[in-house]
Amino acid sequence: MPWPAQISVRNEAFRIGVDFSISVSGAGGNDTRVRAAAQRTIARLARQTGLPLSLTNPADRSLTTEALMTVAVERRDHAGPQKLGDDESYALLISSDRIRLSADGPLGALRGFETFLQLVIPCVGDSPGFCAPQVEIRDQPRFPWRGLSLDVSRHFIPIDGIERTIDGLAAVKLNVLHWHLSDDQGFRVESKKYPKLQQLGSDGEYYTQAEVRDVVAYARDRGVRIVPEFDVPGHSTSWLAAYPNLASKPGPYHIVHSGADPMGAIDPTKDSTYNFLDGLFTEMAKLFPDEYFHIGGDEVSAREWTGQPRIKSFMKSHKLAGAKDLQAYFNKRLQKILAKRGKKMEGWDEILQADLPKNIMIQSWRGSKSLAEAASQGYTGILSAGYYLDLMQSSAQHYAVDPLSGDAGQLAPEEQARILGGEAAMWEELVTAETLDAKLWPRLAAIAERFWSPRTVTDVASMYARLDAVNRWLEWLGLTQRSNLELMRERLAANAPVGPLDAFASMLEPVKGYERHRTPYGASTPFNHLVDAIPPESDSARVFRDAVDSYLANPTEEAADALRAQLKAWSRAADDVRPLLESNSLLEEDLPIADSAQVLCKAGIEALSYAKSPAPSNWKQQTLEAVKDASKHNAALLIPFAPAVQKLVETAQ
């Protein structure tokens, strides 16, 4: 995952042994990224297989040696940073005794290494060991822009979390980390020109310039671009805490720690504003070499401007009809500042203005219609609507969204070509460094497939089967999406056995969308409840829902027995965990959800017994009411197999 553009598989396999080695050649074979990736491949292969593989530098080997994997890279890359549209194609041929990876450029070799590592599994048959199937793969991405927008303002993510995320992006062939570095809750990069930004606007949690340079280099080694975002003119309260003269109205301002804290916006009418932004963005442009620079531009409250007599007078004298026109004025001046620094401006939907240069890029959070509008006007764009991972939606829901669906699918071919791909988004109101991996993975791998693979790759059952394997594989890379949640549940269980809590948790999911945001959160909000210690999607509930659909289409007794067994197991789990819930102050809030689970299990078991014999006259109505009540949210948790139980009840005789 992602599924390749072309693949053919044979029944034979290549066996991985302790003599496994890699050689590199070609004009691009001396690229430091290729050599480093070859070494990482051997190290990761050793970890995946447990084999004591040699870490001799692959660059020291020539093709005349007996290397079992040969990597041929035809050409060197251009100087400077990785760019949008750099060649990522590769071919991978695995035979019974050799592996050949060939690519036109270094990035293709990096992508091919990841494909190879995913193919290594325990050998089939009597002989123990690890093998890779004999395959021929020719592969290239569908879209050139495939990324993740990561908010580190609302909850700061330390460097190890950023680098671990970059490793994950590279593993599933995503190539952009859009680093959302400032918002009302914090300004997260050291500025030497305006040091109050980190001194007064970060709560002491920010990245030094040396750390930023290290991350940029780390990402480049793995074929990932870093696009910074400094959100202006809204979402900028942390700036105003440091430099209140930037504000459109008097303060005082401080970092936003809760929903009750005042928020402000930058004043677009003062020349001093643009002098400040010119200085800051000149400094930041040197830190971030990518050709794109994201200025945010979203969700600016018109009242921050239209309520100020001085700003209203400015708008009148400049013939600006409203706040939207004033923001367009701001964006045009900002675009010129960035252009002087060799940057292309990127922003959210709200920056779209027909007289801006056509080389700006629109990131759409509003949806396909907004994206299509930008493309029809000649602007490039990417889609994020439908890929908001913080909303806790299922992999299948994200997988069904295509950048070229909806209004975008109705565009002319030359307009569709302006849609460059998409970015998943992780806003971190409810996410911390501890839970980051679990909220990103493995769903982000499914989105990565949507961006990379041919449009025809849409089989959801296949996606989930492969996603399960990829999820386990990513842990070998060093991600913690499963292990951290296990540790969090152990923390909740304290000295009690964690097994009953694990079994109970396996049937639950967090509430979806913005439901949980209704409970106020802030910088000091603890995220240490059961809802924080479970993945966004319950695999067992999904399998049960599919099994119910299959049973209703073909109601065999064998299928009914399997459904009944699962419901009984869940009912026991809800019963077994009760003593722990009753005795633990952090878990006591989950007692109602345990009650609801038992109601649902009882309803499902009874419905199966009435599949062929009539139910009592008032049973169905009463049970449907009970199911409806048990389907309600409690402690920000829901029971995702409830809709399947409802189907069983509805179809009972």
Q: How many CB atoms lie within 10 A of CB 556?
A: 10
Q: Is residue 299 among the annotated active site residues?
A: yes
- At a CB cut-off of 8 Å and minimum separation 6, what does 213 contact? 287
Q: Whole-angstrom Cα distance, residue 157 to residue 547?
A: 39
- At a CB cut-off of 8 Å and minimum separation 6, what does 78 contact? 86
Q: Whole-angstrom Cα distance, residue 88 to residue 85?
A: 8
Residues in the chain: 653
* 91: phi then psi, degrees, rounded to nearest 5: -130, 140
Q: Is 578 helix (H, G, I), strand (E, B) or coil?
A: helix
Q: Whole-angstrom Cα distance, residue 503 to residue 518?
A: 28
Catalytic hit among 12, 299, 557, 625: 299
Residue type, 452: W
Q: Yes or no: say if 157 and 150 are a contact pair by the CB < 8 Å rule.
A: yes
What DSSP line would sit under 325-342, residue for residue? HHHHHHHHHHHHHHHHTT
Residue 45, judged by CB atoms within 10 A of its CB (0-12, 13-18, 19+), counts as buried
Q: Any idea what DSSP says for residue 83? A: -
Q: Yes or no: say if 582 and 588 are a contact pair by the CB < 8 Å rule.
A: yes
Tokens representing 542? 């999904």
Can you give the C-alpha Rg of the chain in angstroms? 27
Of 592, 586, 481, nearest to 537 by C-alpha is 481
Q: Whole-angstrom Cα distance, residue 652 to residue 273?
A: 68
Residue type, 504: F
What residues are labeled active site?
A: 299
